[in-house]
Chains A and B, each alone.
Chain A
Amino acid sequence: MIKLKSLALLLLAMVLGPAALAQSPESTKTTTNSVMTIGQRNPALYDGAQALLAGNDEQGVMLTLEGQKLAQGAREEEAALSNLCAGYIRLRQLDTAMKYCDTLLERNPNHWRGYNNRAVIYLELKEYEKADQDLKRAESLNPEARTVKVARAIYMDAVYPVAPAVEIDDRQGGARKGNDKNR
């Protein structure tokens, strides 16, 4: 249950960072002495992220590849690499996705999205030990990230599957046993 639904969410979430980073080229802020540009002038990267978010994976990857060529600075380059990794995962081209994730993590060993994306690839490949290692790194870098929690849940379901169950206890003695702590 968590596997299928959440994987889609997981991959979508991976492009949120760059989508926020690569703002519209018109996004500017006027100060008293100058016009300061907010975000990066890389519409292809922005549009690629939007296309991936919209589920247009091929177009998203194509635009992101264009954006990568025009990327200026480490943040844009890393955003492009992260989105290409996510995009190729969505296109089920895992070898190519792995290449971009590896490149990203060589450039920036503290990129939690890179570890998270690569963990997803390992989960797809059923290489659970490697997935666990990358998830641990992602968790240490961003313990509260929802996407990492979802990826961890997918890992747990694969390695230690459980079935949810609810017991309803109407016994008079049972009801009285309910404790009041932790409220």
Chain B
Amino acid sequence: MPRALSAVVVTGLLLPFAGLAEEESAPGGTYLSDTQRERTPSITAFPKYPYVARRDRMEGEATICFTVNAKGQIIRPGVRSSSHRIFDKPALEAIRASTFEPLKPGESKSNLKTCRIFRFRLDPISVANEKG
């Protein structure tokens, strides 16, 4: 089993993300990460679900690549790939609202170049669960 997948942290989170159009949906969120990373995320912003995608029942994903500097700031984010352009903007905005922990005094590391995948899903709700 690849090392990257050997210790996966799955955390159910509901993180609000401000700054997008109010008609877009605040989705439920899940964060997947390796336990051993070069840099530790500080703020992980979740994107809103695009209104039109929600309306038209569109699911998909966007991969955003970026650099993390010594201060933990994300710089030069860019869309590496996405299933539909509609997911690019919310994913980029979420990345821009996210940060990593800064390097400790005396710690010396080069800027981290990495990527983050955003998967947008529409999970069926059973009527029984909704009523319950």
Contacts and interface: CB of A to CB of B under 8 A. Distances in A.
B116 interface: yes
A95 B18 CA distance: 42
B81 A149 contact: no
B27 A166 contact: yes
A168 B81 contact: no
Contacts of B116: 168-170, 175
19 contacts: A1-B25, A5-B23, A153-B57, A161-B130, A162-B125, A165-B29, A165-B121, A166-B28, A168-B30, A168-B116, A168-B118, A171-B32, A172-B4, A172-B34, A175-B63, A175-B117, A176-B115, A178-B80, A182-B81
B105 interface: no
A149 B57 CA distance: 11
B101 interface: no
A165 B5 contact: no
A164 B23 CA distance: 13
Interface in A145-178: 149-150, 153, 156, 160-178
A36 interface: no
Interface string B106-132: 000000001111111111110100100
Contacts of A169: 32, 116-119
Interface of B: 2, 4-5, 8, 23, 25, 27-34, 37, 41, 44, 46-47, 49, 54-57, 61, 63, 65, 80-84, 94, 114-125, 127, 130
A179 interface: yes
B120 A166 contact: yes
A54 interface: no
A152 to B, nearest CB: 8
Contacts of A160: 124
B82 A183 contact: yes
A1 B33 CA distance: 31
A182 B122 contact: no
Contacts of A179: 81
A180 B55 contact: no
Contact of B124 (A162, A167, A181): A162
A98 to B, nearest CB: 26
Given A161-B127, A169-B117, A173-B4, A149 B55 contact: yes
